[in-house]
Chains A and B, each alone.
Chain A
Amino acid sequence: MNLLSLSPQAVATIAFYLVVAVTLIGALIAVAARNIFHNVLGLAMSLIGVAGLFLYLNSPFVALMEILIYVGAICIAICFAIMLSEPMYLPRPPRKLSKILGGVVGAGLVFTLLFLLTKKTTWVPAAQRSTDWSVTTIGHYLLTNYALIFELVSLLLLVAMLGAIVIARGGRGSS
Chain B
Amino acid sequence: MLVFNQLETYLYLALLLFAIGLYGVLARRSLIAILISVELILNAASINFMAFNRFLAPHPAVGQVITLFIMAVAAAEAAIALSIIVAVYRKLKSINIEHATELRG
- Residue tally, chain B, CB below 8 Å to A: 73
Asked whether A160 lies within 8 Å of B23 as measured between CB atoms, the reply is no
Which of A36, A73, A118, A163 is close to B11, meaning CB atoms less than 8 Å apart?
A118
| Interchain nearest-CB distance for B43 vs A (Å) | 5
Asked whether B87 lies within 8 Å of A167 as measured between CB atoms, the reply is yes
Q: A27-B17, A46-B40, A85-B86 are in contact. Are A57 and B24 (CB under 8 A)?
A: no
Asked whether B36 lies within 8 Å of A50 as measured between CB atoms, the reply is no
- Residue tally, chain A, CB below 8 Å to B: 89
Bits for B11-38, please: 1 = Cβ < 8 Å to A, else 0.
1110111111111101111101101110
Chain B residues with CB under 8 Å of A140's CB are 61
The DSSP consensus for interface residues of chain B is helix
Residues of B in contact with A (beta carbons under 8 Å apart):
2-4, 7-8, 10-13, 15-24, 26-30, 32-33, 35-37, 39-40, 43, 46-47, 50-51, 53-62, 64-65, 67-69, 71-80, 82-87, 89-91, 94-96
Residues of A in contact with B (beta carbons under 8 Å apart):
9, 12-13, 16-17, 20, 23-24, 27-28, 30-31, 36, 39-40, 43, 46-47, 50, 53-54, 56-59, 61-62, 65-66, 69-70, 73-74, 77-78, 80-82, 84-86, 93, 95, 99-100, 102-104, 106-108, 110-111, 114-115, 118, 123-134, 137-138, 140-142, 146, 149, 153, 156-157, 159-161, 163-165, 167-168, 170-172
25 CB-based A-B contacts, threshold 8 Å: A12-B4, A57-B10, A57-B50, A66-B46, A69-B75, A70-B71, A74-B75, A77-B78, A77-B79, A77-B82, A80-B82, A85-B85, A85-B95, A86-B89, A128-B58, A130-B59, A138-B68, A146-B65, A157-B72, A157-B75, A159-B76, A167-B80, A167-B83, A167-B87, A171-B90
